[in-house]
Amino acid sequence: MSKLQAIKKAYSNEFSICKPDRNGWTYQGKKFCPDTDLFKNGISIEIKSVEREYNGSNIKWRPKSLNGLENNNGWIPIKNFNPKLKECFIKLKFDGDEFVALFVSHKNCFVDFDNQQYNLETVECFIPIVKPKSPLY
């Protein structure tokens, strides 16, 4: 799914009316109920106050389901894969189905814990596993 498809899905039939920006934000308008923090069709939203006004409003909002859209919740497109990365979670694409699992990077492919290999062509995106810092005490 692309970023634009995710935004369209979140706004559903209201996408063309609300005209959200590239990160899913739109300005306050008739579709927003400030008393309930809800979009008129019942979708829960997040609100952000901005300095620049548009049509007399300095309130932007978007569906809460788009939270993390700016960085895709930390997932990186496979085209930006770093071969030095040892372990990561990957999202595989199989005929429209999605599968996310922990894998080890090995010579331009990923190997799961059953030694099943997956080529980079089957991988949509990945997220590195960050080693946690040692405890202080």
pLDDT for 63-90, tens place per residue? 888 999 999 988 888 888 776 777 777 7
In a domain, 51, yes or no: yes
Read off the pLDDT of residues 12-66 as tens digits, 9 standing for 90 and up: 887 887 888 999 988 766 566 555 556 666 677 777 766 555 556 667 888 888 9
Residues 6+ apart with CB under 8 A from 81: 120, 123, 126
pTM: 0.69
Q: How many helices (H) and strands (E) does the chain have?
A: 2, 11
Domain with 59, as residue range(s), is 3-70
Q: Does residue 101 fall inside a structural domain?
A: yes
Within a domain: residue 97?
A: yes
Q: Is there a single domain that holds both residue 14 and residue 66?
A: yes
* Residue 46 belongs to some domain of the structure: yes
Give me the pLDDT at residue 88, please.
Answer: 74
Count of domains for the chain: 2
